[in-house]
Amino acid sequence: MDFKKFIEKLNKGSEKNSSDKKNVANLLIVLLVGVLMILTVSFFKTSNTMGSQVLGNGDNKNSNKSSKGDQQVSDDKTSQEYETTIQQKLKDTLEKIDGVGKTEVMVSFESGEEQIPAVNINDSTSNTEEKDTEGGTRNTTQKNNGSTVVITNEGDTSKPLIVKTYKPKVSGVCVVAEGAGNKVTELRITKAVTDLFNIPENKVNVYPMKK
Give the pLDDT of residue 72. 53
Task: Please name each of the domains of the chain with its CATH number.
Answer: 76-114+164-208 (3.30.300.30), 116-158 (no CATH)
pTM: 0.49
pLDDT in tens, 33-76: 777 778 777 766 665 555 544 444 555 545 455 545 555 555 56
Res. 177: pLDDT tops 70:
yes
206: amino acid identity, one letter: V
